[in-house]
Structure 1
Amino acid sequence: MDAFWSHSWHGSSWMKIATVFFLSNATAACTISTAAAILAGIAFGLGWLPSFDSQSVQCFWCMGVGCVSYALALLYWRSRRKVFVDRICISQDDPQLKAEGLFSLGAILQSADEMLVLWDPSWARRLWCVFELAAFLYTRPSNLQKPPVSIRPTLLGHTIFSVLVALLLAGWTFHLSMIFGYSLQMGVLASLGLCGVIFFAIAHLARVYCRNVTTLCDQVATFRVATAKSYCCDVDHKVSGDDQPMICDREIVQRCIVKWFGSVPYLANRRT
């Protein structure tokens, strides 16, 4: 297995999905769209593609074909990496299968080559999320200087998307201004104006990210297994619409911690 993806169920789903799309498919999308734009330029130069103006030597096909091919590749490119995602790989409907999956989590983490943490402010408050990271580090060799763990904020996808929209609007504004006969200075000013509005929002996202990093440091410094949040404890170990008791994840985690690290306080003191 190539990677284990750790995430909080209480984070924004669409932000996590957007981040995963860019992390997994952005390289392929850039390669395909660049190649498509170059081919469109060559086809235009050979006269295979029409122009909006028979006297114009400007090619508007490159940006159009490049943008469309980038979007399609980003959405539909299929990565060959094998990853583990709890909601998909562990049954959420069958209690028996779910329990077997939870008890096998240590072996699953050991078989993963790397871990990707899709981080948001709720991640460090969830018991399972922190336990997954601790378990993954436990399965790595003790002399490993840099564990194969990548932490990516879920704001990343939103931010990259905003940058792409800003550049797309700026490019098309400039091209359209040239089509309708506006001056070069007017096209540049209009493009920069649109970019400025969106980049102001991007700057706000950067400030939010910096505040979240400060929050993460505080959460790690004050993390305790006893106070970490867990869904089973939040619902008082009762399945909705059923009198059957729910398995307590906290008890399972504490047993694993005692087995691996000797005691729960020892794990709480191991902060790197």
Structure 2
Amino acid sequence: ASVSVGVVVSILELMMLDDVASFESTVVAANTVHFVDRPLLHCIICPSCFIVVLSFGQRFLSCLYSRRMVFVDKLCIDQTNPEKKQAGILGLAGFIKRSSKLNVLWSRRYFTRLWCTYELASWIHHGKKMGSVNFLPVARAQALAVLLMCSALFWSFNECRDVLQDPSDVWWYVGMRVAGSCLVALVLPVRMLLRFVQEMRSLPEQLDTFSIRGSRCFCCDSGHMQPDTGDHLPCDRELVYMTLDAWFGGPATSRSLSQDTPSSLRETHLDEFDRRVRAGLKDRVTRGTGLGGTLSFRAVLFSATPLLWHLVVKSVVS
């Protein structure tokens, strides 16, 4: 939308160049300096359109199409009221039962969080296909944001160059562009992409060694005591383990076994859950499908949008 609006605005500005805001661009050719009128409004309208569409695009589409219901556990479960939080956690399996796709905002700590593994358990218990589980690395989104910032910086450099009317100011523009290029276009994107690649390479190893017993939760980390008030916190791990026992324990569950039974036999439901997670996701990790490890054309187009503004305006003006 921002690119389309930039084209329309540029054409309108060229058609009515005397009536709209414009500036003179410096052009140096054959040791001769002359000035060319260039449109100015696209410098404001293109970024404004991009921000509006990026922030409110889904709301605009909801007016034309049926709304898509999305459940985000961190936002939809109350994090301040203990009673509402417990009710939301207990109803988490119900939301997953009604869902057709599970998008995981994956980071290195994902498989170490108890409630994240509980979501996978609910997905498996309700007979959902593991092929509908998509891993969306958080580092990938951060890398795209940095690439977008680089494109915006280069776009602003090009606009500053066009505004310069004194050839003696070229040294300032060159110095600013070189410094900005070294800092933003090389250091930050490379650092973010390296982090992204390292996290993606650690995913198969995390899956091979996955065990819900190694997951962490707030209640156990804080010693089952509320840090602020010192009140007792119920153990979430016991609740999750009991639920997994009912889902994966089979007819001979750990509840029917005596206290003298070895813990390795009373926790067979945990082993069964670990096995299903490893087996269900191993093929997707091996094939690289559903991992978000590649940058799609839409993602590249998103990160290069500011450069497209400059190319469109330059082609229209020339």
TM > 0.5 fold call: yes
Instruction: State the match for 1:51 in structure 2.
Output: 22
Instruction: State the match for 1:24 in structure 2.
Output: none
Instruction: State the match for 1:64 in structure 2.
Output: 44
Higher alpha-carbon deviation: 72-81 or 211-220: 72-81
Q: 1:269 aligns with which of 271, 275, 282?
A: 275
Q: Give the drift of 1:267.
A: 0.9
| 1:199 and 2:185 aligned | yes
CA 1:191–1:244: 2 relative to 1, 3 Å: closer
* Largest Rg, 1 or 2: 2
Q: Indicate the SS of the match to 1:118.
A: strand
Q: Indicate the SS of the match to 1:53.
A: strand
Q: Indicate the SS of the match to 2:39.
A: coil
CA 1:136–1:174: 2 relative to 1, 3 Å: same
Q: Give the drift of 1:247.
A: 2.2
Conserved in 2, the CA contact under 8 Å of 1:60 and 1:175?
no
Instruction: State the match for 2:149 in structure 1.
Output: 165
Which amino acid letter does the alignment assign opposite residue 51 of structure 1?
Answer: S
TM-score by length of 2: 0.65
Instruction: State the match for 1:178 in structure 2.
Output: 162
TM-score by length of 1: 0.75
Q: Give the drift of 1:189.
A: 9.7
Distance 1:109 1:196 in 2: 46
CA 1:118–1:82: 2 relative to 1, 3 Å: same
Q: Give the drift of 1:85.
A: 2.2
Q: Percent identity at matched positions?
A: 22
Instruction: State the match for 1:74 in structure 2.
Output: 54
CA 1:64–1:243: 2 relative to 1, 3 Å: closer
Q: Indicate the SS of the match to 2:213.
A: coil
Q: 2:246 aligns with which of 256, 259, 269?
A: 259
Q: 1:88 aligns with which of 69, 72, 75?
A: 75
Instruction: State the match for 2:10 in structure 1.
Output: 41
Distance 1:242 1:172 in 2: 52
CA 1:188–1:122: 2 relative to 1, 3 Å: same
Question: Which ranges in structure 2 are unaligned for 5 or more consecutive residues?
Answer: 26-34, 63-67, 250-268, 282-318
Output aligned runs, 1:26-37, within 5 Å. 31=1, 33-37=2-6
Instruction: State the match for 2:234 in structure 1.
Output: 247
Distance 2:174 2:42 in 1: 19
Distance 1:148 1:188 in 2: 49
Question: Which ranges in structure 1 are unaligned for 5 or more consecutive residues?
Answer: 1-30
| 1:109 and 2:96 aligned | yes
**4+ residue stretches of structure 1 with deviation over 6 A?**
185-190
Q: Give the drift of 1:196.
A: 4.9
Q: Indicate the SS of the match to 2:134.
A: strand
Q: Give the drift of 1:66.
A: 0.9
Instruction: State the match for 1:210 in structure 2.
Output: 197
